[in-house]
Amino acid sequence: MNIKGLIVCMFLTAGWLSASAYNDHRNARVDSLEAALAGSNPPKGKELLSAYNELTRGYLPYDAKKCEYYGRQALALSYGLDNLLIRQYVLRHLGLLRYGREEFTEALDYFRQALAVTDTMATQKRYTQKDLDDARSCLYGTIANVYNQQDKAHLAIHYYQLALPIFERNGWLESQTVCYHNIGELYFAMGNNAEAERNFLKAIEKGESSGDSLMIALANKGLAWIYIGTGDDDNACQTAEKAFAYYQTHRTEEPCTYAEMLAVKARISLMEKDVAKAKEYANEALGYVKGDMPFENASIVYTTACEVAMAEGRWQQALDYGLQSIHPDSTATYSDKDGYLLLAQIYTELGQKEQARLYINKVYEMMNRYATDHYQSGLSQMEVLYETEKKEAQIAALDKERRLYYWLLFGSIGLIALLVGLLVYRHLAHRRQKALLAAKVALETETNERRILARDLHDGLGGMLSLLRLKTGGTGTETLIDNIIVELRRTAHHLMPEELLKSGLVSALNDFAVSVPGATFSTYGDIRLDRNRELVLYRCAYELVNNAMKHACASHIDIQLMQDAHAVTLTVSDNGKGMEEGTEGMGIQNIRERTEPYHGQLNIVSLEGQGTEINITLPL
């Protein structure tokens, strides 16, 4: 599904539906305004500022230089006239100009400046709540778009969710519909079907209230894909029919989406074992594939045609469609893994074992790369969210202190000292609470994503590899696939070990030590920890053991877990080549970041050629 294109269309071309002032740029009378500026009686003061603002907005779609020029003029004059409303308008337009050039860092800088101006507006009575709501809703939406273009779904969802309360407060149903749909699309792309379904259903509810048939169709299309993926035939059929009815009557205006809906109908027909009907829908969809069709839509059509051909046993035709459904290797994305799996199965049926192995390896490499990139990206986004919330908390605290300041001037010195002490204590406690909350959110996000990825690796790819092993002859091929299956299951297990969730840290570490050649595990004391600390210590142990095997070339690794009344200590020691002083790598840095919210202490003792001992202590 073309998520990014939809969001850009909804939030940049048309703008947020709440703002009556955001009419189409093409309606701006830029020629007349420029003529007035050059006339004998040019506008001055507020009228001149308004003209500069309109020219900035009017030239935004098609003349970057003039947009930039008039934007600079408007900004300078807004300071002289102290007009914050126009200033945030202009900053947002200049940000959109950078967004159109894909200068995302610069665009975000302008949008954040505009948000800061809006925060200042909130402290002044001359600006209405409607002014603030219009400004903030637009800025939250455009910031979300930027993060979406950068594949930062967590941050995009965060800013859409900041906009939702504004829409609900003002009763802007159209904007609520669009926002819920876009959040659903982002959750679907992340693999969180439960949240995606919930937001799509909310989009349909709001769309029915506002009469927005397009958004109802889009949300039903999203639901159909979810139900197809989960094998829910009845719901898939119902939601697909509702979306199909809309796009069938709009196939001239929406040929790409109509082709996608034909593919959806074909998939459902395959689920119902009606291959003939599926072939009919697939062939019609292929008729809409043209050179200007976005690759995402074309890929869906070719993948569906491939599956139909496979169901009919037309393996050569299936191969042709399968090859057209994937990106070239240099631009391959995670979405290509499904095509790789189909191609591996097709080549197996055609007896081309080398090609089958090639695509099996591509699937494994793609899953491994996705796991690493997605995990790092998620942590990075959690850090940005934490910093954003911390700044917001600091701003709120400063506002509160400023309001209290005038009252404290009339109090006694003793009362001032007491209040300042209370404020400092509250501020420190709030910061600690925010840090622990951010760590918990990051840990829960990581845990959920690891569980989803581990299940997909074990159930989806593991099952496909087992099927290919049965269909692929030859001792060498079977051995290769067996090795891949073992490595795949080991990776899936350690992404989110079920033993940790079921029986706790001691049992999970014991299983982990058994799976590592040369590793031993021992425990001292009655180990009783909360789930978050257990997850942190398990990840640290996993990181340290991997480092010992990969970098220190250790043949023996000893893992110890000890707890007393005040702290729990994890010790990992090895007989490897040791660490050079000042050579801490990314693994050690990750461990420090994991343990810091829990006030953990990390102690490293290492002698070159004599091994390394690392102690991690978490106070209780």
Whether residue 94 has pLDDT greater than 60: yes
CA dihedral 504→460→377→487, nearest 10 degrees, is 70
Query: 500-619 domain in CATH 3.30.470.20?
Result: no
For 404, residues 6+ apart whose C-beta sits below 8 A from its C-beta are: 419, 423
pLDDT of res. 266: 93
State pLDDT tens for residues 136-165: 998 998 898 888 888 788 888 889 999 999
Instruction: Of 192-201, 241-250, 588-597, give the lowest mean pLDDT range.
Output: 588-597
Coil, strand or helix at 582 = coil
Q: Could you tell me the pLDDT band of residue 483, with boundaries at 50, 70 and 90?
A: low
Instruction: Of 125-139, 288-302, 306-320, 439-453, give the lowest mean pLDDT range.
Output: 439-453
Percent of the chain with pLDDT over 90: 39
Instruction: Give the largest Cα separation in the chain, rounded.
Output: 91
Whether residue 18 has pLDDT greater than 50: no
Q: Most confidently modeled of 92-101, 325-334, 469-478, 547-556? A: 92-101
Q: How far is CA 56 from CA 28, 37, 80, 136, 440, in A?
A: 10, 14, 18, 19, 44
Q: Could you tell me the pLDDT band of residue 467, with boundaries at 50, 70 and 90?
A: low
State pLDDT tens for residues 487-510: 555 565 555 566 777 788 888 888
The closest of 495, 493, 488 to 463, measured between CA atoms, is: 488
pLDDT top residue among 440 and 332: 332
The closest of 286, 254, 204 to 6, measured between CA atoms, is: 254
How would DSSP label each residue in 424-457?
Answer: HHHHHHHHHHHHHHHHHHHHHHHHHHHHHHHHII
Q: Could you tell me the pLDDT band of residue 362, with boundaries at 50, 70 and 90?
A: confident
Location of structure tokens 């034909």: 262
